[in-house]
Chain A
Amino acid sequence: MYFWKCCRDTRSRFIFFLIVITAVGVFFPIILVPIDVRTGDVVRLWSDVTDVLGILCSILALLAALSMAAPSIGQEFKEQTLGFLLTRPRRRRYWIWTCWAVGACELGLVVLIAVVATVGTVSFISGRVYTWRLLVAILPMFIGTVAVYSLTYLLTVLTRSSEQGISYGMGILIIDLFIPLVGLYWHVHLSSVMSFIIAGCRWTASPKLAFPLGQLAIYAAVALAFPLAAQLVLERAEA
């Protein structure tokens, strides 16, 4: 039942991002692909497709992650319903993980739709059906956005406020985006969640590149560590 309730809480944002990301996934290839097909530049075509996926869709997916992390669990604090919720006969971890799983599933769908819309449109217009490699781009994008989602989720539980959770999450994400630039100054290669997602997408266009498996594992661990921390916080919380 809580799964159903969380779906209700996030459905408007979920549908909004689903529509926007589908529109982006369809609209940009419509502009880009005919140009590349005319020139016969296949490499360029792949590059443009992965750019659409990597940059535009991942920005939207990250915004979706920030936006969808807070409403469900944040509402419990905002409406002071935590006392009601915690007196239902379930362990506290059940509330945390159910609520988190709803958002993670919705994010997964948003990412899947982004990739399918983009790949489908490109395939339809260009007449070339792209290989499974493009679909693998889902994985880094999904794990990266879920990591940001989990961070915002934890911050919402810690601050007991949706607004503060989103604000702090966005702040940390912006700092994270600037980390590679700071690294460039010191001639050190540093990665951000955005560069990780883009690297994942680029891998589909350039088979010689290495798949960012190590980073994938780290972000997956981070994505699970944050809700675990939220669970520990809630288990010790007093309502």
Chain B
Amino acid sequence: MSEALELGINALRGQMDTRAMSYFSSCVRCGICAEACLFYTETGDARYTPIYKTEPLRKLWKREYTFWGKLASKMGLLKPMTESDLSDWEELVYDGCSMCSRCSMVCPVGVDIAYLIRKAKEGLSAAGFSPADLVAAGERADRIGSPMGVTSHTLNATIRVQEKETGLPVPLDVQGAEYLVLLSSGEIAGFPEFIGSLAKIFKATGISWTLSSEYFEATNTGVQLGNSKLAAKLVERIVTVAEKLDIKTVVSPECGHAYTTIRWDAPNFIGRPLPFNVVHVMELLDQLRQQGRLKTKGYTEERLSYHDPCNAGRRGGVLDQPRNLLKMVAPNFVELPESGDMNWCCGGGGGVSSNERANPLRLKVFDAKKRQLDAAKPEGLVTACSNCRHMLEDGLEHNHMYDVELLGVTELIAEHLVDGDEA
């Protein structure tokens, strides 16, 4: 057995738990999960059937945890796992799955297939069968602190521009601030106005907040790779800066997987509860709305729809909050068909967006989103995830859908904000 295979199999063994074994013992191979997966519905390729993507883990389970598997292995009737049992699944797991969990919502026996795929990733990653781009992003995240190579210098420069544009200070490294706002590199590079929008909203609502120059990155490439050690290391950096600044609540930015990671997975990665609360920026803004502190004026007449980021919505529970906020400013809001917890993914989650090799497939499966947009015919599409926004931009451009404007919820609210003086 090669070293890579041994590492992969050992990593898969470490993933086996009662939940995974229950899933494998209850799956009836009905194939319904395929009908929920945009990688299958848009390509018609049966290999993209979600449960098929879990084969590396299932093979190990069958071989080492079932009566027939153990018996057949001992009698030499079951072939041992080979490197191809892992390497052949790299493309399916990393390029052909955005970890959107839509499949997990429809399985009649209740299998959370995304949970199993995430576990399979651990084996592939340990064996070295991960896309080079994602591995490189992981190395940058580890070395620089950002998968895109965004440094604190870049952040400082971006902050200065936003301060100039808004005329408001953007607090940095403020000891004892109530909220520490994390950012994604994609936001800093692509949608820096998010920072200015927060500055406006937090000033108007009297929120004490800060960014950290020491560590600001909310995304976690370890999660996307299926490398729990890296994931834990990146989470620890957030914990360290939050503790250093004596932060009560950490705010996840408009990024789906960043939220799921820091809100739900982080304590499990580091093996202890977090010493602070975590909220998605949508949750915080909605809380401020409920408290009457966040007030808006005027409306946008545009017919707007909301794209639910899979990780924030389906896997994170942030479904109502952005809609509550949009109701404040968008009277002509219209739901996409199959929205909310059954929304179709943008195609770029789970690290697919960082994997250039997957681009043609990602743009192909964007057809699912295109169908939603064609049905609802919105003039503007709002979302609360910078990665989704990049992917939506790409998909709309690819499909020549130039009439659909893309917006972030936070910026839209900031545009209609009643500031403190007006209030």
Report if A and B associate in a common complex: no
B residues with CB within 8 A of A: none
List residues of A whose CB falls within 8 A of some B CB: none
